[in-house]
């Protein structure tokens, strides 16, 4: 299993792989089938898509803290955020997780959208 982080502001599709905004768990065989596609190669080269071995179970392993916060802010999966809240006791990431969950529970509306 791999974690593919989509840094685009929209969902991306290539072959049988759909990448939601933020971190995505993708089977190795599925990634192998699409990673050589010219578009995917461009995404990776530009840093728009990041590939990590394994899954991110413990957010505290992501350093520096700014990188962890960036990942939290891009995550649209409330269950994953709640799980990370249990594994990372850094105040900065806890605050980011709380804010992202509140954002998701408000249907993703920015404060100025009302």
Average confidence (pLDDT) per 10 residues, the chain, 114 residues: 93 94 94 96 96 92 93 93 95 97 81 47
- What pLDDT, on a 0 to 100 scale, did the predictor assign at position 114? 45
Encoding tokens for residue 20? 């939601």
- What pLDDT, on a 0 to 100 scale, did the predictor assign at position 111? 47
Among positive and negative, which fits the CA dihedral 14, 19, 23, 29? Answer: negative
Q: What residues are paired with 19 via a beta bridge?
A: 12
Cis peptide before 61 (omega within 30 of 0): no
| 114/112 Cα distance (integer angstroms) | 6
User: What's the helix, strand, coil split of the chain in %, to 5?
Assistant: 50, 20, 30
């Amino acid at each position: 299993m791999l974690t593919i982080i989509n840094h685009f502001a929209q969902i991306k599709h290539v072959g049988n792989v759909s990448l939601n905004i933020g971190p995505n768990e993708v089977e190795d065989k599925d990634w192998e089938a699409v990673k050589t596609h010219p578009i995917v190669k461009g995404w990776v080269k530009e840093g728009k898509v990041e590939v990590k071995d394994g899954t991110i179970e413990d957010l505290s392993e992501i350093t520096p803290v700014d990188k962890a916060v960036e990942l939290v802010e891009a995550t649209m999966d409330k269950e994953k955020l709640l799980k990370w809240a249990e594994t990372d006791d850094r105040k900065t990431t806890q605050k980011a997780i709380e804010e992202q969950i509140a954002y998701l529970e408000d249907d993703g509306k920015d404060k100025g959208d009302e």
